[in-house]
Structure 1
Amino acid sequence: MRLHTHEWGTGDRVAVLVHGLMSDHRTWHRVAPVLADKGYRVIGVDLRGHGKSGRGEYSPESWAGDLVETLPERPELAIGHSLGALALAGAVERLAPARAVYCDPAWDLRGKVAEAAVYFTVFKTAPRAMISGLNPGWDDDDLDVEMATLADWDPDTARVHPEIFAVDRTPEYPVVPSLVVLAGTGALVRPGRAEELTRRGFEVRTVEGAGHTVYRDDFKGFMGALDGWI
């Protein structure tokens, strides 16, 4: 499936941004302009089931395949968050970016999918006050983006059959030079994973105090964690 995309900047280098569940390209509204100012042409996608992209069968393989069909080969930089990191890992060998950044990746969801499906679908109709209460560090712009992306999100993306995620999808090794940015207070990545990822050849950095949506909870901390990678 060809995905809807949005671009920032006109630089010679290409950076691609892949959002997480319930979101779309608008989630990068702070990150993308910074990359554009650094000389990148930044391409943000709306994954299948999100934003203005089409709906259909939802699986890690379909999300990865859509990235390959949509994005240019060999970008200078590719960043994926959560579900986007899962999709990017599945596409990275074919996309062949010079560098990949995985932000709090949804690689190992064993035992979490069934309960998460119910939890996440509640957000489809969540009031603004609820979103604000769960994310006290977000400003009005972040809240506006969240409400807009939830309105354009297909909650069936959270109902992927549990058997699909019954295995650990953590890459055995980084196909390209790769950084994993972890949320200091996030609960998605299992304890001890930082050490395991380091043994597998990933560089790992943690943004202490940030929740799962690292780049929105602590924008400065997230951009600092990218030092040397962008």
Structure 2
Amino acid sequence: MRVLYRSSPSGDLALGVRVSGDDRHRPPVLLVHGMAGDHTTWRAFARALRREGRRVISVDLRGHGRSGHAQTYLLDDFRDDLEFVLDELDIDETDIVAHSLGGQTALRLAMDVPGRVRRLVLEEVPPMPRDQGHVDEGIVVAASLGERVRGVGAALRNPWPLIRFDRRVGVEVAPQFETPDPEWWARLDVIAASTLIISGGRRSFLPPRHLRTLSEALPDAVFTEIDAGHSVHRDKPAEFASAAGEFLQIS
């Protein structure tokens, strides 16, 4: 695990990054976890990518895992951290596989620097609310009982991501999804990356119809549904690896 240090007016921020595998002919695959996770959530999928000869970069978002706790947790802060990692590792173009909060972060990066993201796999990515009706659904913070039970099971098997997690992340991120942001939707058309959006189906607290609508708003996107709940890669790893792996192999 490498630690990169991003300078800021409030001091250096440590960002944990794991780089593995080697592929000189294709862009690396950047893996970005969701809230309260860390890079270890991708171990099985990272192994599968390396078996296919891909270079893999797994990051810990600020406030998670081996990365430092920060003074702010704006959605654009997470985006800027990812861009910093690409700069520090001298990566001009990448594929990204991202879950939940990581998916929102990856989308923002693809909006900001569209030429640097070739392919996107977005698992259970929460879209920004388009209007007040979307806000009123409370889809971002209202996890089902089943989701919470599965989350407890995962934490018992590997407690370190939850132990290292800065609880302020949730406190600061949630309100950002409580204001309609039509401009975010308007900017989706600048994204150049081919995109696969994976929904966890009816077992997830994110209604599949919202993710399908997001896929339709992107210039080049396909939608698929795997009935697993919010953490598809964790709870149905074979189905996730099949869908994501096939998409990433497309040249």
Normalization by structure 1: what TM-score? 0.80
What count of residue pairs does the alignment treat as equivalent? 216
Aligned to 2:23: 11
Cα distance between partner residues in 2 of 1:195 and 1:153: 31
Distance 1:144 1:75, change over 3 A: farther
Distance 1:78 1:208, change over 3 A: closer
Cα distance between partner residues in 1 of 2:103 and 2:166: 19
- The counterpart of 1:144, out of the listed 141, 153, 157, is 157
- Name which of structure 1's ranges 148-157 and 168-177 shifts more when overlaid on structure 2: 168-177
Aligned to 2:57: 43
Distance 1:132 1:198, change over 3 A: closer
- The counterpart of 1:221, out of the listed 239, 242, 246, is 239
1:55 corresponds to 2:69: yes
Cα distance between partner residues in 1 of 2:139 and 2:247: 38
Distance 1:189 1:88, change over 3 A: farther
1:90 corresponds to 2:108: yes
Higher helix share: 2
Distance 1:153 1:84, change over 3 A: same
Normalization by structure 2: what TM-score? 0.74
Aligned to 1:153: 165
Asked if the contact 1:214/1:222 (under 8 Å) is kept, the reply is yes
Mapping of 1:173-192 within 5 angstroms?
Answer: 173=189, 174-185=191-202, 186-189=204-207, 191-192=209-210
Asked if the contact 1:113/1:162 (under 8 Å) is kept, the reply is no
Aligned to 2:180: 167
Distance 1:113 1:70, change over 3 A: farther
Identity, % of aligned positions: 25
Question: Equivalent residue of 2:192, what SS?
Answer: coil
Cα distance between partner residues in 2 of 1:18 and 1:184: 21
Q: Which amino acid aligns with 1:7?
A: V
* CA shift for structure 1 position 43: 0.5
- The counterpart of 1:194, out of the listed 197, 212, 215, is 212
Q: Which amino acid aligns with 1:106?
A: P
Cα distance between partner residues in 1 of 2:94 and 2:63: 26
1:103 corresponds to 2:120: no
* CA shift for structure 1 position 134: 1.7
Asked if the contact 1:142/1:216 (under 8 Å) is kept, the reply is no
Cα distance between partner residues in 2 of 1:195 and 1:29: 30
* CA shift for structure 1 position 163: 4.8
Aligned to 2:81: 66
Gaps of 5+ in 2: 1-5, 7-13, 130-134
CA RMSD, 1 decimal: 3.1
Asked if the contact 1:106/1:189 (under 8 Å) is kept, the reply is no
Aligned to 2:11: none
Aligned to 1:208: 226
* CA shift for structure 1 position 203: 2.4
* CA shift for structure 1 position 21: 0.2
Cα distance between partner residues in 2 of 1:68 and 1:216: 26
Question: Equivalent residue of 1:31, what SS?
Answer: helix
- Name which of structure 1's ranges 101-110 and 49-58 shifts more when overlaid on structure 2: 101-110
